[in-house]
Structure 1
Amino acid sequence: MLFDRQNKHLPSAAEALPGRPEPEFTVPSRHTVLGNPLEGPYPDGLEIADFGLGCFWGAERKFWQAPGVWTTLAGYQGGHTVNPAYEEVCSGLTGHTEAVRVVFDPAVTSYGALLKLFWESHNPTQGFRQGNDVGTQYRSAIYTHSPEQQAGAEASRDAFQPILDQARYGAITTEILPAADLPFYPAEAHHQQYLDKNPSGYCGIGGTGATLSEPSETNWGRSCPTGIASAPPEG
């Protein structure tokens, strides 16, 4: 990715690039690995989860490999610019982070299982960076689609922090916010399933080695059911 774009300031809405009414590119119709449509509407009964954990190339692969995931989509979320382009996001002038939309089957997996994968797959204590990737677009984030997701994400964060403390890591910097206020904009076609198309391509995703407990009815997993998500992605 672009190591020299070391932006460390989130722009306000007034400072952000204006964007455009319509995206300048089209998104492929189907996932190259899972074979399912990338964009909604999705089949009834499936649910949506949105995560930012550094460069979306490696992050997306983490999730498409997980059981119960129906499709994944790389994109931009958490900022102000409408229909941003990759170079704009990397400039730090849109406010977005690189995100992955995960559409999953709750009959096979759970939001709690995805949260566990999220926390263990990156270092959530680094602020505006992830490993060698530095900039606001690499910050850790969870964008939730229901009050239950919000509660589950916050509870899992609170459960993981003491584990990171014991491993001598710092405070978690992950932002946890409602997705309804932060539209998801799909990324350009060549970013979708990038590491399937380029198996030896760059992947900056790496965890801390700390392990979160399995979600269950007696701990943070209890707050993790989500609502149906059959509508198209926002934006």
Structure 2
Amino acid sequence: MKGPWPEGMSKFVFANGCFWGSEKGIWRLPGGGIFSTAVGYAAGFTPNPTYEEVVTGRTGHAEAVQVIFDPAKIDLVDILRWFWEAHDPTQHMGQGNDIGTQYRSGLYYFDDDQRQLFLASKAAYQDALRAAGIQREVSTEIRAASDFPNGVFYYAEDYHQQYLAKPGSRPYCSAQPQEVPLPPFSKWATPSLRTKFQQRLPDTFWQTHGPAPHSVIRSPDSPIDWTQFSSRTEEL
């Protein structure tokens, strides 16, 4: 779960509710492109927070997931689509019955390409929600990892890591998927973004395996079989 990482890997840090289900949703993505996932505490203002400190709300951290992935096998666009569809980004400071700053929605970028991608996808998902009759505002914070001089991400305790795969774990996930798809990348990407990112998972994948209420805790622990999605996605 900790670096150094193999050459060519990219990093993604996000928060969208209780980190147990958030992490499992990512490690199940197909294609062999997810190299590592870890849960932790992000975007706060105290160093080395513990879970007991974070739950007080006084450290400013969100429960977060760090993803190390191979962009030659799975694109940030695909992981980002899971992020948006797997929770309710309009529920400010909470998911379901989990309320507080630790459950807020957030994206933390490491370069300007990620910043542009996050902002464009946020606008696209806001439009998709409104088209589906959901008029609430997306409250997801988008901030630079460099805003946090002590580090944007701190690893959580071992007992939280890959929690939903542990024998005897409590099958719990507070995420509130809205069952509203993020439109295909080609519909909202700027020309600049199209030169740097590409959608690899086709719409048929999302129609079959897209997030739905309770889908993460009901699904197997192993990654989704890639064979039926192995062909490159054509721009729609």
Q: Is the TM-score greater than 0.5?
A: yes
**What RMSD in Å do the two structures reach over aligned CA positions?**
1.6
How many angstroms apart in 2 are the aligned matches of 1:96 and 1:168?
32
Residue type of the alignment partner of 2:66: R
- In structure 2, the residue matched to 1:213 is 183
How many angstroms apart in 2 are the aligned matches of 1:101 and 1:223?
22
TM-score scaled by length of structure 1: 0.76
Question: 1:205 aligns to what SS in structure 2?
Answer: coil
- In structure 1, the residue matched to 2:13 is 50
Matched, 1:203 2:203: no
How many angstroms apart in 1 are the aligned matches of 2:185 and 2:20?
26
Q: How does 1:165-204 map to 2 (within 5 A)?
A: 165-169=130-134, 170-182=136-148, 183=151, 184-197=153-166, 198=168, 200-204=170-174
How many angstroms apart in 2 are the aligned matches of 1:77 and 1:181?
11
TM-score scaled by length of structure 2: 0.76
- Answer yes or no: is the 8 Å Cα contact 2:128–2:183 preserved in 1: no
Matched, 1:101 2:101: no
5+ long unaligned stretches in structure 2: 198-236
- Residue 199 of structure 1: CA displacement? 5.1
Residue type of the alignment partner of 2:172: Y
Deviations 1:142-196 (A, max 9, x none): 0011100000000000111111112233000000011122321000000000000
Matched, 1:128 2:98: no
| Structure whose residues are more often helix by fraction | 2
Question: 1:71 aligns to what SS in structure 2?
Answer: strand
Among 80, 99, 104, the residue aligned to 1:115: 80
How many angstroms apart in 1 are the aligned matches of 2:165 and 2:116?
33
Question: 1:79 aligns to what SS in structure 2?
Answer: coil
How many angstroms apart in 1 are the aligned matches of 2:160 and 2:173?
12
How many angstroms apart in 2 are the aligned matches of 1:200 and 1:92?
23
How many angstroms apart in 2 are the aligned matches of 1:166 and 1:134?
27
- In structure 1, the residue matched to 2:220 is none
How many angstroms apart in 2 are the aligned matches of 1:172 and 1:219?
17
How many angstroms apart in 2 are the aligned matches of 1:187 and 1:200?
17
Question: 2:185 aligns to what SS in structure 1?
Answer: coil
How many angstroms apart in 2 are the aligned matches of 1:157 and 1:88?
30
Give the share of equivalent positions with the same residue, in percent.
44
Of stretches 193-202 and 168-177 in structure 1, the one that deviates more from structure 2 is 193-202
5+ long unaligned stretches in structure 1: 1-37, 227-235
Q: How does 1:77-96 map to 2 (within 5 A)?
A: 77-96=42-61
How many angstroms apart in 2 are the aligned matches of 1:50 and 1:150?
12
- Residue 204 of structure 1: CA displacement? 1.3
- Answer yes or no: is the 8 Å Cα contact 1:155–1:223 preserved in 2: no
- Answer yes or no: is the 8 Å Cα contact 1:113–1:215 preserved in 2: no
